[in-house]
Chain A
Amino acid sequence: MGGGLKNMIDKDYSHVINKIDSLAAKIYDDFQKTDVPFLQLPTRTKSNIKFDGKLNVWKYGKNTIERSAKSLDGAYMLLRTMYMADFIKEMIKVKKSSTLREMYYISEGWDLAKFHSQNESNLLAEDLEVITSCMREDFKLRPEEDGARVIGNITIEEMTRNNTKKKIHCQDDVGDAGYSIPYNVEPEKITFKGIDADFIVAIETGGMFDRLAENGFDTSNRAILVHLKGQPARSTRRFIKRLSDEKNLPVIVFTDCDPWSYRIYASVAYGAIKTAHISEYLATPAAQYLGVTPSDIENYELPTDDLTKEDINALKSELTDPRFQDSFWKGEIKLQLKLGKKSEQQALAKYGLDYVTDTYLPEKLAEIGLTRK
């Protein structure tokens, strides 16, 4: 796991260059053969994700779409793909990297190939990962999103920007905000040193993360607290995945009680639809959903809000999402639709500030067999 420094500097990008060149050659050959140029890639929708029994995560299925120069949209996509591939090749050559946002701005100069929104360029970067089976990191592209936070009895060794190793203890060496997860969480950047904990709690909201930290839940329950910050960034998911795998720690996910939160859990445990091509790197199949569940609304008599039309549609959509087909999720989603209500993690404060750490979490942990002895 050592030799991070060496890896950082000397990382071999030749396979990336090869992939990009063969992409260009494919298009070029189409012209030569007087075929209308096209690229094929998996359909990146809910209908095309299949459970991979070997990897224990959800991956793209067999459905593909064709981006053909026959249509205007397809032709634009091909042109943009070529421009982006060329840009990445250039970055590798001059040993630079850029954020996705920077690339979006750079595309302003790509004339016809420029993007209309950053979402477009982000999606195409993912497409390019899928087409070349490279990772975003191979393309020297990094996300804008700042890392989420960690508090717990763990020491992380991080390669700083001065290329020196620094050990950080995630209770003693950090402030109230905790340790900040960097965008690169690969072994060349961070390694896990000493750890003394029983499980990882991934928490959706900052408010609840701070509540558990203030109440000392990390110490009292020997837990590593990870803040997800809504839909978690790739690095956060990768961090959880590595920590869970390497240190053999169970992961529990603690979110609000609404359809969007279930998707957060799904992306941690099963893999997200958008990034299903790299689910085996990002997903932690053993992660368990703790709550807040629709049953909790009833059992704990939690304060609620009415489901909005969007909430209801999202719940219905989850009923057809292959990732939510087990009896637990089907039952909970149907119950929620019947209740017509949703709730928040912080609604537990109804019973006082300590209720979540003194009563709710211990009860729920016991339910899933993770009780502290």
Chain B
Amino acid sequence: MTKITAHDLAKKQKEISVAEFFERNKHILGFGNPTRAIVTSIKEGVDNSLDSCEEVNILPDIYVEVKNHEDGECKIIVEDNGPGIVKKQIPHIFGRLLYGSRFHAIRQSRGQQGIGISAVVLYGQLTTGKHAKIISKVQEDRPAVVMELAIDTNKNRAEVISRETIHWDKQSGTRIEISIIADYKRGKRFVYDYLQSTSIVNPHAQIIYKDAEGEEHFFERTAEAMPKKSSEIKPHPYGVELGTLIKMAKNTKARKLSSFLKTEFSSMGDRTTNSVCEKAGLDKNLNPKEMKREEFLSLHRAFKKVKIMAPSTDCLSPISETLIRRSLKHETKEISPEFIITASRPPSVYSGNPFQIEVGLVYGGKLPRDSPVQLMRFANRVPLLYQQGGCVITSAISSIDWRRYGLEQPSGKGMPSGPAIFLTHVSSTQIPFTSESKEAIADVSEIENEIKLAFRECARKVQHHIHKKVRRKKTREKFDLITKILPEIAKKSANMIDKPVPSLEAVITKIMDVVWIEDLIEYEKISRQTVQTTIIPDEESTSGSGGNITKSKIMVVNYKHNPQKFNLYALIPQEAVVGSVEPKPTKIADNYIKWNLGTIPPASKVDVSFELAGLEKGDFDENDLYVENINPTFVIGADKWEGD
């Protein structure tokens, strides 16, 4: 055997071009097979469109089209009404890998690595040899630019093949047309699922999808409000890696370690900075640019030893329970589910990265009864379609015992079966994906815990809901009993022995022996009137088509044989605006209304009502009532108030 020397090896070592890098890594980038390729391509385009619209506060109108050619080539078209891209930037954004404005910012956004859309251009080029076509218009009174691009794979630079200006009948926007080799037949279901899911977590977006058969699918906008804009935050010391720390120190303008820590990191005040320096055994006046590796190492270790306040969480943009509910309701209309329940957790932090969990549960209706529950996973409003098994969302759900909530689950572990859809949305400045294809979230115990807590809360609400339904049914039965059947029994027995019909009141209070609360919700449409329908009051996003007033009517009847006096609470959604309330409430809080009801004599009733604005029809379709200062077992239709 001949001996191979380092010189021999050097002959083989050369710079790997992006094309080679892509070719070798296409599976982790989401282009592993022709089915995945079509979904990934559309996903990258749509993610870009949504992000760019949000950045300039435009409600996204997105058009997606797929044209399928016999030979396995597909043309993907994604068009938006976003701000467009200035001419100069087009080649960079579409023709260079790892280029983007979001790569360096720490805040919640869809794409993060900037590998996105240019990877699609490259994939198209590698598989079909065709150029990508970009149309962009940035201003209403200017013409649009049409550019054909190729990627010079050796230089990682775009090559502009052609450039011209055209008239485009649109205020502003971007349209991309890319040809790729893809398996449309197998991929089309995933494309539809992806767009539908995207629409669910982006209720402010409208998506029109024209499939290769020419059929158009509309995913309507269900919220007129833009999502809360997430703000950028600085890295948190708990989350920063040693290498990043060193790089940050090399680039900082700060001259002293203390000011470097205070200006470049979040949650670092004077006191924390001092104790970090102390723990690290470093002079706080050190010049960060001159620090040695060992010093960085002890600094990095010191971060973990000091209690540092959690980062601020306003960099997150959750969807909100009401909007998740509304979207789910809209998209599951045909299933006519029995109920939709949502829960959201307060923001939390893992390794210095803020994150927040929101979940939704759709139950019953036409959903299949004996197949596993359907999971819908989302990260920063992006649906995750693949690698369900390797995702922390799946393992969190599997670790909950769902049997007590009426779902099938052999041995109380694993994916439950039953007529349900579970939605999970993880928002974070840094989603810990398991790989670059961003299809599964890694097993981070803080995240898993929060997901579990959210679903437990959801499950509790489900139980509460079922419990309430059962009680309501019983209430109705009792009502039938005392109003219809009992009088009949009395009449019949009296007739058979020729006596006058006996009086029933005493027997009725004996049978009921409860305070009975019955409620009803109605909606009243108000036309052409400005109603605040947004979560964040916003001049531009008031509903143009009018809104709904939600009217809740509650009847309280005392069927006990002694007078009753107690307090009543009705929960209301936080984003609702409370209108008229009868009788005069004792307190209107963020999320409830409280009444100190006057004494109710036996066999008498009190009517209570309130109106809510700022909600769509159906957002509030069930009263959640609680009582205080009365034995809750005396009451049907409300539960014990446990405090705020």
Contact = CB atoms under 8 A, between A and B. Distances in A.
Whether chains A and B associate is yes
Interface string A65-83: 0000111100110110011
Interface in B467-486: 477-478, 480-481, 484-486
A27 B494 CA distance: 9
B496 A86 contact: yes
Contacts of A86: 492, 495-496
A37 interface: yes
Interface residues of B, number: 24
A85 interface: yes
Given A24-B497, A25-B497, A112 B484 contact: yes
A82 B493 contact: yes
B497 A21 contact: yes
Chief secondary structure at chain B's binding surface: helix
Contact of A28 (B486, B488, B494): B494
Interface in A94-143: 111-113
A31 interface: yes
A31 B493 contact: yes
B56 interface: no
Contact of A83 (B477, B492, B506): B492
Contacts, number: 74
A25 B499 CA distance: 10
Contacts of A321: none
B480 A72 contact: yes
Contacts of A76: 485
Contacts of B484: 112
B485 A37 contact: no
A75 B496 contact: no
Contacts of A37: 489, 493, 507
A31 B502 CA distance: 6
A227 interface: no
Given A24-B497, A36-B507, A79 B481 contact: no
A246 to B, nearest CB: 39
Contacts of A79: 485, 488-489, 492
Interface in A162-185: none
Contact of B510 (A21, A24, A34, A111): A34
A36 B504 contact: no
B630 interface: no
Contacts of B485: 69, 72, 75-76, 79, 112
Nearest to A28: B493
A144 interface: no
Contacts of B504: 31
Contacts of B495: 86
B37 to A, nearest CB: 51
B286 interface: no
Interface in A1-51: 20-21, 24-25, 27-28, 30-32, 34-37
B511 interface: yes
Nearest to B499: A28
Chief secondary structure at chain A's binding surface: helix
B507 A28 contact: no
Given A31-B490, A37-B489, A72-B481, A89 B496 contact: yes
A69 B497 contact: no
B471 to A, nearest CB: 14
Given A72-B477, A89-B496, A82 B507 contact: no
Interface in B487-543: 488-490, 492-497, 499, 502-504, 506-507, 510-511
Interface in A329-373: none
B507 A24 contact: no
B486 A75 contact: yes
A177 B56 CA distance: 94
A82 B497 CA distance: 11
Given A24-B496, A28-B494, A69-B481, A82 B489 contact: yes
Contacts of A24: 492-493, 496-497
Contacts of A34: 506-507, 510
A67 to B, nearest CB: 11
A75 B492 contact: no
A68 B503 CA distance: 18
Contacts of A89: 496
Give the interface centre of B494, B497, B504 by most chain A CB atoms within 10 Å.
Answer: B497
Given A69-B489, A72-B478, A72-B480, A31 B497 contact: no
Nearest to B512: A70
A27 B492 CA distance: 10
Contacts of B496: 20-21, 24, 82, 85-86, 89
Contacts of B488: 79, 111-113
Contact of B502 (A28, A36, A111): A28
Contacts of B494: 28
A36 B512 CA distance: 11
A75 B486 CA distance: 7
A36 B510 contact: yes
A76 B481 CA distance: 8
Contacts of B477: 72
A28 to B, nearest CB: 4
Contact of B511 (A36, A78, A82, A111): A36
B220 to A, nearest CB: 44
A86 B496 CA distance: 7
A21 B499 CA distance: 12
Contacts of A25: 493, 497
A75 B511 CA distance: 11
A31 B501 CA distance: 9
A25 B492 CA distance: 11
A37 B481 CA distance: 12
B329 to A, nearest CB: 33
A79 B499 CA distance: 17
Contacts of A32: 502
Given A34-B506, A34-B507, A37-B507, A75 B497 contact: no
Contacts of A70: 511
A57 B426 CA distance: 71
A27 B419 CA distance: 46
A78 B488 CA distance: 10
B493 A27 contact: yes
B489 A78 contact: yes
Nearest to B478: A72
B284 to A, nearest CB: 77
A112 B488 CA distance: 9
A75 B485 CA distance: 7
A164 B499 CA distance: 44
Give the interface centre of B478, B486, B492, B494 by most chain A CB atoms within 10 Å.
Answer: B492
Nearest to B513: A70
Contact of B497 (A28, A30, A36, A112): A28
Nearest to A34: B506
Contact of B489 (A27, A35, A72, A111): A27
A83 B493 CA distance: 9
29 contacts: A21-B497, A24-B497, A25-B497, A27-B489, A27-B493, A28-B490, A28-B502, A31-B493, A32-B502, A36-B511, A37-B493, A37-B507, A69-B481, A69-B485, A69-B486, A69-B507, A70-B511, A72-B478, A72-B480, A75-B486, A75-B489, A78-B489, A79-B488, A82-B492, A83-B492, A86-B492, A86-B495, A112-B484, A112-B485
Given A21-B496, A28-B497, A113-B488, 7 more contacts: A24-B496, A27-B493, A31-B503, A34-B506, A72-B477, A72-B478, A112-B484
Interface of A: 20-21, 24-25, 27-28, 30-32, 34-37, 69-72, 75-76, 78-79, 82-83, 85-86, 89, 111-113
Closest 6 pairs (CB-CB, A-B): A34-B506, A31-B502, A24-B496, A72-B477, A27-B493, A82-B492
